[in-house]
């Protein structure tokens, strides 16, 4: 187990180096002039350009620049400053990340609740009314784009029915006293309901289908028949023998989908004007703020690596066959 852990961590570190390098090269080769961006774009003064070039070593070779970048990132945990606002990117991400985390994790919990209940019941009663209805829901969830879904939800639940707010974010720990914005756990929850629903729909649909298929397949396994031959009641067979095995691949998928979900969060955040990482990314791209874009990408990379590591460890814990390899 310890060896497995060490190997996974070493892998994560190697992946981190490779991904940051590739990201760095892409931004290095892109139509991106950091010196000009820092000096105010088209009106840049020659003196300023020179100063910035020297300060950041922008005339040095690629590998030296990457080393500066890597050193700044790892030793000082510093993602740099925004070209557009001059603000520290660490601070900007520190503000945006909790919003995205609320969306992604709240959404993941919601989609797993939906997928587990609907998926398992569909598998137990294949071709029943519930199963058929669920499959229609799956088709809609997979086909419909989150932006479109978001707009529909806003219109129906927010405007027509007036049940929920249609946009904006409320801080879980309360808003700043003078901001006049809503805050606190209830307001946070209240504002996140629609974003969670929008965000979850696609994944809920995908996972319903996956869980249904896995449960149906596992029900035909020999060891399930063994459990039945032992005289185990059906609910015990389902929980202890079928689900434990059927959910193994789901855990793997969950780890892989955290990355995909971060990408999907961009759409949901822009529909509901949530000040998360996705919105920072869009604003960064629009403002030619490559430092910001790079910061978000690197941060997302670290987050994905971290959650994949957690999933690997979790997987080893739930599947004994992995542990010793």
Partner 1 sequence: MALLEVNDLKTSFRTEDGVVGAVDGVSFSIEKGQTLGIVGESGSGKSVTCLTIMGLNAKRNTISSGEALWKGRNLLTMKPKELREIRGNEISMIFQDPMTSLNPVHTIGRQLEEAITLHRDVTKKVARARALELLKAVGIPRAEQRIDDYPHQFSGGMRQRVMIAMALINDPDVLIADEPTTALDVTTQAQILALMKRLQEDFGSAIIMITHDLGVVAEIADDVVVMYAANVVEQAEVHDLFNRPQHPYTWGLMGSLPRLEADVERLTQIPGQPPSLLRPPSGCRFHPRCPYVMEVCKTSYPALEPSRDPDHLQRCWLDQETKDREAAKLLETTMAEAG
Please give the sequence-ordered ranges of beta strands (E in DSSP) within 164-244, or none if there are none: none
186 binds partner 1 (CB under 8 A): no
Q: Which is nearer to partner 1, 91 or 128 (CB)?
A: 128
Question: Interface with partner 1 includes 221 (CB under 8 A)?
Answer: yes
What token pair was written down for 126?
């294949």
What's the rounded Cα separation, in Å, for the pair 249 and 242? Answer: 13
Q: At what angle do helices 185-219 and 89-124 cross, to 10 degrees?
A: 40
Contact segment (CB under 8 A) with partner 1 among 178-186, 226-234, 260-268, 283-291 equals 226-234
Q: Tell me whether residue 50 or residue 228 sits nearer to partner 1 (CB atom).
A: 228
Quick one: which of 133, 223, 256, 285 contacts partner 1 (CB under 8 A)? 223
Q: Of 69, 133, 45, give the one whose Cα is nearest residue 295.
A: 69
| Selected binder of partner 1 within 136, 231, 235, 286 (CB under 8 A) | 231
The residue range among 23-31, 75-83, 194-202, 239-247 that interacts with partner 1, by the rule CB under 8 A, is 239-247
- Number of residues binding to partner 1, judged by CB under 8 A: 21
Q: How far from chain centre, in Å, is Cα 267?
A: 12
Q: Is 245 in the site for partner 1 (CB under 8 A)?
A: yes
Q: Which one among 87, 91, 181, 226 touches partner 1, defined by CB under 8 A? A: 226
Q: Does 244 bind partner 1 (CB under 8 A)?
A: yes
**Which CB sits closer to partner 1, 162 or 320?**
320
CA distance 169 to 183: 9
Distance CA 244, CA 237 (A): 10
Count CB-CB contacts under 10 A for residue 62: 12
Indicate whether 134 belongs to the interface with partner 1 (CB under 8 A): no
SS3 171: strand
CB of 325 to partner 1, least distance (A): 10
Angle, helices 89-124 vs 277-286, to 10°: value is 130
With CB under 8 A as the contact rule, the residue among 164, 241, 257, 311 that binds partner 1 is: 241
* Dihedral (CA of 299, 305, 310, 314) sign: positive
**Identified binder of partner 1 from the candidate list 12, 48, 210, 232, rule CB under 8 A:** 232
Distance CA 26, CA 301 (A): 15
| Interface contacts to partner 1, rule CB under 8 A | 221-223, 225-233, 240-241, 244-245, 248, 318-321
């Amino acid at each position: 187990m310890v060896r497995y852990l060490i190997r996974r961590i070493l892998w994560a570190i190697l992946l981190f180096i490779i991904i940051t390098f590739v990201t760095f090269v892409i931004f290095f080769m892109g139509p991106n002039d950091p010196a000009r961006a820092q000096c105010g774009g088209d009106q840049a003064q020659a003196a300023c350009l020179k100063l910035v070039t020297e300060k950041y070593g922008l005339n040095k070779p690629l590998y030296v620049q990457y080393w500066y970048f890597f050193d700044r990132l790892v030793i000082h945990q510093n993602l740099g400053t925004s070209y557009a606002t001059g603000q520290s990117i660490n601070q900007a991400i520190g503000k945006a990340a909790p919003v995205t985390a609320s969306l992604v994790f709240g959404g993941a919990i919601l989609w797993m609740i939906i997928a587990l209940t609907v998926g398992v019941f569909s598998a137990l009663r294949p071709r029943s009314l519930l199963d058929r209805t669920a499959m229609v829901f799956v088709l809609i969830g997979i086909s419909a784009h989150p932006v479109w879904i978001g707009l529909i939800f806003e219109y129906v639940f927010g405007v027509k029915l007036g049940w929920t707010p249609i946009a904006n974010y409320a801080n879980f720990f309360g808003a700043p006293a003078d901001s006049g914005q809503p805050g606190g756990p209830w307001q946070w929850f209240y504002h996140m309901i629609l974003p969670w629903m929008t965000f979850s729909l696609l994944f809920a649909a995908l996972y319903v289908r996956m869980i249904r298929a896995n449960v149906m397949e596992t029900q035909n396994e020999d060891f399930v028949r063994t459990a039945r031959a032992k005289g185990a009641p059906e609910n015990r067979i389902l929980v202890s023998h079928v689900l434990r095995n059927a959910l193994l691949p789901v855990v793997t998928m969950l780890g892989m989908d955290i990355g995909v979900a971060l990408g999907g969060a961009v759409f949901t955040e822009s529909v509901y004007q949530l000040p998360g990482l996705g919105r920072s990314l869009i604003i960064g791209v629009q403002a030619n703020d490559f430092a910001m874009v790079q910061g978000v990408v690197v941060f997302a990379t670290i987050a994905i690596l971290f959650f994949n590591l957690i999933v690997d460890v979790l997987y080893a814990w739930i599947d004994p066959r992995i542990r010793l390899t």
